[in-house]
Structures are given as structure tokens and as C-alpha cells.
Chains A and B, each alone.
Chain A
Amino acid sequence: QLQLQESGPGLVKPSETLSLTCTVSGGSISSSSYYWGWIRQPPGKGLEWVGSIYYSGSTYYNPSLKSRATISVDTSKNQFSLNLNSVTAADTAVYYCARVAYSSGWFRSYFDYWGQGTLVTVSS
């Protein structure tokens, strides 16, 4: 059974960098059949796709983040990570990692397995 688990600080100061890691178990992050992604959800609000990564390191981001996001992968540890710099209170959210099933192109993709999510609060 595939499982994803987010980890990282729950509190980040404004202007600093938010760093989260997703550990995948029960399956290989090096599978050619999937991407891996981050989605966030501000408290009481809807879902926003942050970005996706392939095991080879190819990355794709939501332009709304204005190039503040960086996603990386460590196949030896079966993990992928999110760094979001210059955070503000607007980045306060539950951050989910997920497996991304895709078809004809990386963006032709939906999220079929999700981690439980981790709340990150941006506050001084």
C-alpha cells in the first residue's frame, strides 16, 4: 500500500524559506509511470496546485507562486522536497504531497494518492 508522509517545521517566519519533505513508502519514487506533486490548502479554503516533479528531476510549477517554489527529488531516499522562499502570511496552509498519475504530458495529470498533510503557519 503506497503511503506518503510530509515532514517539516510547522512554523516559519515571514520572509524566510518554508521547507518540507515527502517520504514515499510502499512504492518507488523512480517509477516512470508517475510524477510527484505538492498541493496546498489555506485554512478553510480550497486547493491550489504548487508544483510537480518527475524522478529524473524535471519540474513544473504554478506560475502564481512567482518562481518562489523549488521542488527536488532524492531517489536514494525515496523522497521529494518543497522549498518556498520569501514566505508571507498568505502562504499559511496545509501542504499535501501526492502521487501524480499522468497521461499525454506532465500536465495531463491528477492526484491519486495523498499524504495526510502538514500545517505550516507563517508568523513572527
Chain B
Amino acid sequence: EIVLTQSPGTLSLSPGEGATLSCRASQSVSSTYLAWYQQKPGQAPRLLIYGASTRATGIPDRFSGSGSGTDFTLTISRLEPEDFAVYYCQQYDISPLTFGGGTKVEIK
């Protein structure tokens, strides 16, 4: 199975700053088959990005995804207060579907 490693584990930033989250795969993932989710405490995950770079419906354009092969990135251009959460990547290139361990973006 494809193991996804997310880094850093925790990112401490202030509102208005930019955030760069990394997701590294144990083997190459077709760039079409990588998704990102946001999860706030006590809530279900919410789809942000699919196809590595396509924003889901209703997702603000401050969220962007990029990458290919084994290295993918989620960028939040300017953090809003509601963006402090845990972010997960998921690959859907090879079964079984797998998720990364998550990156927590916390308020500095």
C-alpha cells in the first residue's frame, strides 16, 4: 500500500500568514489522484482539493494544491481564523485508499 507522510506534524502560525503543508508518498502517485481534507475539532473532514489541484465546491481560492510523483503540497495563502485545523492528504491511485497522518495548523 502507499504510505503518505505529512510534514510538519504541527505548524504554528499567525492569522494572515501563509502556510505550506507537505504530503510525501512512499511510491509515485499519479497527479490526478491526490486529495486534501480539512478537519476541525469534533467535526467530520471536509474535502478541500481533489485531483491534486482542483478545489472542491465552495472552497476559497486561498487554498491551492500542487505537486506530482511523490511530493504534494497544500498552500494556504493567507490564514483566516477558521483555517486553524488539521489537514489530511489521501491518495486514490492504488488500493487500498490511504490517508496521511495529518498536519495540525495552530495559532501561534
Q: Do A111 and B47 touch across chains, with their CB atoms under 8 A apart?
A: yes
Stretch at the interface among B16-24, B67-75, B76-84, B97-105: B97-105
Q: Does A101 contact B (CB under 8 A)?
A: yes
The main secondary structure of chain B at its interface with chain A is loop
CB contact between A46 and one of B43, B92, B95, B99 (< 8 Å): that residue: B99
Q: A46-B88, A64-B96, A107-B92 are in contact. Are A112 and B47 (CB under 8 A)?
A: yes
Q: Does A15 contact B (CB under 8 A)?
A: no
> Nearest A residue to B34 by beta-carbon distance?
A110
Q: How many residues of A contact B (CB 8 A)?
A: 22
Q: With A and B bound together, what is the CA distance between A36 and B37 in angstroms?
A: 17
Q: Does A62 contact B (CB under 8 A)?
A: yes
Residues on A with C-beta less than 8 A from B90 are: 47, 110-111
Interchain pairs with CB closer than 8 A, number: 55
Instruction: Give the shortest distance, in Å, between B72 (CB) and chain A (any CB).
Output: 13
Residues on A with C-beta less than 8 A from B35 are: 110-111
Q: Do A115 and B44 touch across chains, with their CB atoms under 8 A apart?
A: yes
Q: Do B99 and A49 touch across chains, with their CB atoms under 8 A apart?
A: yes
Instruction: Give the shortest distance, in Å, between B49 (CB) and chain A (any CB).
Output: 9
Q: With A and B bound together, what is the CA distance between A64 and B46 in angstroms?
A: 24
Q: A107-B92, A111-B45 are in contact. Are A49 and B97 (CB under 8 A)?
A: yes
Q: Do B99 and A47 touch across chains, with their CB atoms under 8 A apart?
A: yes
Q: With A and B bound together, what is the CA distance between A107 and B2 in angstroms?
A: 13
Q: Does B94 contact A (CB under 8 A)?
A: yes
Q: With A and B bound together, what is the CA distance between A62 and B96 in angstroms?
A: 6
Which residues of chain A (97-120) have a CB below 8 Å from chain B? 101, 103, 107-117
Q: With A and B bound together, what is the CA distance between A103 and B96 in angstroms?
A: 16
8 contacting pairs across A/B (C-beta < 8 A): A46-B100, A46-B101, A49-B99, A96-B45, A108-B93, A110-B92, A111-B90, A113-B47
Known: A49-B99, A62-B96. 7 other contacts (CB 8 A): A47-B88, A49-B96, A60-B95, A107-B97, A108-B33, A110-B35, A113-B47
Which residues of A come within 8 Å of B, CB atoms?
46-49, 60, 62-64, 96, 101, 103, 107-117
